Structures are given as C-alpha cells and as structure tokens.
Chain A
Amino acid sequence: MDWEAFLLSIELGIATVLCLTPIALWAGRALAYSEFRGKGFVEALIALPLLLPPTVVGFYLLQAFGRHSPLGQAFEALTGHLLAFSFEGLLVASILVNIPFSFQPIQRAFEAIEASVREAGAVSGLSPLQVFLRIELPLAWPGIVTALVLTFAHTLGEFGVVLMVGGSIPGETKTIAIAIYDRVQSFDDRSANIMALTLLSISIAALGITNTLSRRIGRRRG
C-alpha cells in the first residue's frame, strides 16, 4: 500500500469537494430555476467531461497550464513554479472534470423542489435567504450529499487526466490510481490488489450512499 499516494488522493478529493461544491450550489440552483436562451448548450457543456476521453481533457489542460499559455505564465509569475505537474494544477484539472458529477445532482435536487413550495415560503414571510436555508437546502440536501460523494469518489479514481496533467511525482501528483498502475508495471500485484480493493470498496460505499439518498428524496415527495 502506497500511503503517500493514498493520502494525496484523499487530500485532492477533499480539496476538490471544498472548491467545487459552493460553485455547484450556486450554478446548479441557477440552472434549475432559470430559463434562458442557450441553456441546453450550457448543460451540454457541463456534461462534456463525461464523454470526452480523459487524455483529450488532459491534453488541452496541459496546453493551458504550460509555460507558453497566459494562464501558465501568470501562475508561474505568482508562485514561482509551473502549474502543470503540480498539486495545484491537479486540483484545477480535478475541479474541471468533476463539474458534471457535482452540478448535475445539485441541479436535479433544486429542480425537484416545486416552485409553489418556494413561493409559499416567501408568502409566509420568509426572506429569500431564509427560504434558501430553511426550505431549499433541507429539501435539496440528499442531492447535495450525492454530489459530494460522487465528486470525492470520482476524484480518487481519476487516472487519465491526472497522468497527463500531473505526471507521477510522489507526494505531489502521484495519486492512488496512478500508484496502482505503477505497481502493476513493476509486477507488484499484491500492493496493486490492496489498493484496487480499497478503491473498489470506496466506490461501492459511495454508490450505496447515493442510492439511499435518492430513494429518500422519492419517499419525501410521496
């Protein structure tokens, strides 16, 4: 078991969830409540990372993070090191590829709240903030937790993009998924197996949680 890689993956997962969830709460709610021209296009764009081969995403991110791009130059000027092949670069990549896993459950959760229930909150004298905190958040909660769990589990398992953007620098960009690949390459099947089993049980647990929560949404509406 490569503990360094395992802890790095956990760290990346937590950082991704912490950065992405507030954005997803705002954007998912906005998408759920508003109708505008080009909404379908925006939704398709959000789903894009689901379909795009990870190497393609990784390739473009590498271009964007590199020394020849404005983003890469700005980051290097600011921090003194390159965005590509760094933990920060990995985090930005992880946030981007997790957008569908985070936005979609949250958007669906807010969409499931009847407009009249929100209106009833306002008519009952609750301010927009109170409606959000006391009505929308508790009702959307299962969807929000689903988004957290999916994002976290998916971050642990991401391979292609991480390899392209981060390389495999121990303690910096070598995540558990990469470590498994490394172990298999060096015929260390036993270590690979332990790490693979860990990821497998995390994934099963994640699916169990999300399934239970989505059933709970259904029951509450019943």
Chain B
Amino acid sequence: MADTLSRERPPVHVETGREVVSFEARTASPIPLDLAFSLRAGEVTALFGASGSGKTTVLRTIAGLWRPAGARVTCDGTTWYDSARRIHLPPHRRRVGLVFQDYALFPHMTALANVMAGLTHLPKAEREARARALLALVGLQGLEQRRPAELSGGQKQRVAVARALARDPAVLLLDEPFSALDRAVRVALYGEIEAIRTRLACPIVLVTHDFEEVARLADRVLVLERGRIIAEGDVGTISARSDIPIIAAAAEAGTVLNATLAEVLHERRLAVLATPVGRLLTSLLDAAPGARLRVRIPSRDVILADRVPEGLSVHNVLHGTVAGIVARPGAVADVAVAVGEALLRAQVTEDAVARLGLAPGRPVVALVKSVAVTVPGA
C-alpha cells in the first residue's frame, strides 16, 4: 500500500517542510477574517479556537466551498482563489481532501463506492483496486459492501478519511473529525491519523476546539479568535501560553513537549526522555531508544519550590526562572517557568505565590509529579 501511495504521488511532494499552501484573508463580513499563514508539506497544522472563531470558514475557503470577499489561496504555485483577480477554482478542480465533521458520506453508496467516487481522476479499470487498497489502509477490509447506515461512527470516519485520501490531495483538511465520536474510538483513531500522516507528505490541517487533539496530533498550532491568529507556534510553546484564555481553559491544562527516548535504565525500571526542558525520568514504556514521543505534563502536577527539597519521591526536578504569572478564578495562579528552551506551566495557589515571593525573573525549582507519555502513531 505504501508503494502505491508513493508511486502515484508527484515527486514535488516528497520533500517535507516545503510551503505548499499559502492563505490570506481580510474581510469584515459576513464572517470576519484577518489572517495569513502558510502550510508546509508533512506538517500537521491545528486551527484551534472556540466556535465562531472562523476556523471552519478558513478550512472551507481552502476547499473552495466558501468565497470570502477578500482572500487569496494558492497551492503549489496555482492560484485557487483570489477575490481581487476574480479567480475561483471550483472545489472539484482543487486537489483537496476534506473530512467533514459529520463525515458526509454518500448514504446511497457502499463504503467502496464512496471511496471510488473520489477516484474519478483514475481510469475506470483501476478505481476499484485503488479504493480497496485505501479502505485497507484505514483498517476497513471486509466492510467494502456496507452502506454508511450499517457502519459505526468510527467506521464512517475511516471511510471519510479513505475518501479524502482517494483524490491524492495536495492538502488534507480535517474539520473536527473526532467530535462526534466517543472517547475510546477517538483515541484509536488518533493513532490511525498519525499512521496515515507519516505516509503522506502533504500538509494536514486539523480544525478543532479540543486541545487534547492538538496535543496528540499537531506540529504547529494557530490559535484563532474572531478570525484572527492570536497565537502561533509549536504545540509546546502554545500549550504554555496561560495568558490565552482558551488555552488556559483547555481541560487539564498542561505543558506538551516533543521528546525522544534517550536511554532505558533497566535496573531502575525507568526510561530517560530528552525534552526541551531537559532530561525527564518516566516509567518504562514500549518504545525503542531514539523513538519520537510526546510528553504532557498537567500543570496541577508541577510543584514549585525555592530550593531543591531533600528526600523526595519525585524523580524530575527542574531548575528554571519564572516567566509570567496569571491569576485564575478560585485563588489559584498559572505560573509559567522558563526551563531550558521551553516553558513549563504550573498551577499553584495565590497563597503559594505570595509565600514564595514568585515574580517574573525569580529562579525556582519545578518538581514534576507525573509525566504522561504518548507514542504518536501507537
């Protein structure tokens, strides 16, 4: 399957990091947009924001389903949309894959026919084999003849992903693809998307209001509010931005860091992770040294101290300086601590802030009680 995918992909897509899509919109109504960004090959960009922030509108504009009064979209040097020059390439002539929030499968067609409908660019004789291969890629072999009404939510989502991939898209757009699924199914599908993402070299855009999805899947985050980008950066940097209400409010707010498995200490039954905040110890996990991992540190599980206490059960003691303090409702405060090249978020009481005399620039010791490690693609 990997062979088929790579064989049919034009060579321009092999390199990653190249700018593929460039987006720019300035319009006041009916939905205000004022933003510009580009999407790079092999990168998952999350558009994160509350409903009404314009994230779905941005996605629909890229797909050609919405035409803002002032906007420009280019892909691989081709102008897809330019309101000033009155250029609008209709959606069926743009190479996009879009997974809709409600999947939008064709209800009268089988799973196989749904995927084949996206393969009109191939000769008729090749379509069925290709559609079967795509369904196998998303783990649906054996269900080719089912209609959408006979599939579970998670299975429908997989068909929608296979159909979106069918067009061999230059950009893959995911519009809140997990929002209608229950948690267990969702977690299984995160892995599925991660696995697909490693095979695809096209940019992927994930629209979501769930920061857990961002933390699991995205490389880069654009935080949207009323059509503007209010923050932009890698997941680690953004997750530390407790000054942005929607980030701070994200359930179980914490710090997300990219990590690699540096070493396994078999005699202590511990693993050592290399992260931007330094080396972290965690319990043994099922990965080989050198594996790319993602680490999430809930801010409630970070304890701040003015010096290193003695006789601790906690493995991870990090030295840093206070970068900022934001008061939260309930007499607590979010403290951002600069450690190494990254920011670590800690949630402490207002009383603790006063007792320790925490203020920007003050050196502190951060004690990390728990480290949640996920293996992307597992």
Q: How far is the CA of A128 from the CA of B65 in the complex (A)?
A: 13
Interface string of A71-103 (1 = CB under 8 A from B): 000000000000000000000000000000000
Question: A120 and B98 in contact (CB under 8 A), knowing A138-B108, A220-B107, A220-B108?
Answer: yes
Partner of A124, one of B101, B102, B163: B163
Contacts of A114 in B (CB 8 A): 102, 104
Q: How far is the CA of A13 from the CA of B97 in the complex (A)?
A: 46
**Contact residues of B between 32 and 78, Cβ < 8 Å to A:** 63-65
Nearest B residue to A134 via CB reads B117
Interface of A, helix, strand, loop or mixed by DSSP: helix
A139 to chain B: which residues have CB within 8 Å?
107-108
The 5 closest A-B pairs by CB, nearest first: A116-B104, A124-B118, A120-B104, A122-B91, A123-B98
Q: How far is the CA of A19 from the CA of B107 in the complex (A)?
A: 30
Question: Which of the listed residues B98, B101, B106 has the most CB atoms from chain A within 10 Å of its own CB?
Answer: B106
Given contacts A124-B167, A126-B92, A134-B117, contact A119 B108 (CB under 8 A): no
B148 to chain A, nearest CB (A): 9
- Check A119–B104 contact: CB distance below 8 A: yes
Interface size class of A (residues with CB under 8 A): 20 to 34
Tell me the residues in window 117-144 of chain A with beta carbons closer than 8 Å to chain B beta carbons.
Answer: 117, 119-128, 130-131, 134-135, 138-139
Q: Are A120 and B149 in contact, CB atoms less than 8 angstroms apart?
A: no
- Check A222 for interface membership: any CB of B closer than 8 A: yes
Q: Which residues on the B side are within 8 Å of A135 (C-beta)?
A: 106, 108
CA–CA, A128 to B163, complex, Å? 18
Cβ contact of A125, chosen from B102, B108, B121, B149, cutoff 8 A: B121
Task: Report yes or no: B120 in contact with A122, Cβ–Cβ below 8 A.
Answer: no
| A123 contacts B91, C-beta separation under 8 Å | yes
Bound form: Cα–Cα A131–B108 in Å: 13
Please name 21 pairs of A and B residues whose Cβ atoms are closer than 8 Å in the assembled complex, sorted by A. A114-B102, A114-B104, A116-B100, A117-B105, A119-B63, A120-B100, A120-B106, A121-B106, A121-B117, A122-B65, A122-B91, A123-B63, A123-B91, A123-B97, A123-B98, A124-B117, A125-B167, A128-B90, A134-B117, A220-B107, A220-B149
When distances are taken between beta carbons in the complex, the residues of chain A under 8 Å from B121 are 125
* B165 → A minimal CB distance (Å): 11
Residues 188-219 of chain B, each 1 if its beta carbon lies under 8 Å from chain A, else 0: 00000000000000000000000000000000
* Residue in chain A with minimal CB distance to B95: A125
CA distance A127 to B166 in the complex (A): 16
Chain B residues closer than 8 Å to A219, beta-carbon distance? 149
Chain B residues with CB under 8 Å of A127's CB are 92
Instruction: Say whether A221 faces chain B, with CB atoms less than 8 Å apart.
Output: yes
In the bound complex, what is the Cα–Cα distance between A127 and B163 (angstroms)?
Answer: 16
Contacting residues, chain B, for A117 (C-beta < 8 A): 104-107
Q: Which residues of B contact A123 (CB under 8 A)?
A: 63-65, 91-92, 96-98, 164
- State the CA gap A120–B106 with chains docked (Å): 8
A179-220 to B contact mask, C-beta < 8 Å, 1/0 = 000000000000000000000000000000000000000011
Provide the B145-170 mask, 1 if CB < 8 A to any CB of A, else 0.
Answer: 00001000000000000011011000
Q: Taking the nearest CB of chain B, how far is it from the CB of A140, in angstroms?
A: 10
Q: Which of chain A's residues have a CB closer than 8 A to the CB of B106?
A: 117, 120-121, 135
CB distance from B98 to the nearest CB of A (A): 4
Most chain A CB inside 10 Å of its own CB: which residue of B63, B92, B102, B166 = B92
What are the residues of chain A within 8 A of B107 when measuring CB–CB?
117, 139, 220-221
Give the residue among B65, B90, B167 with the most A Cβ atoms within 10 A: B65
Are A120 and B105 interface neighbours, CB within 8 A? yes
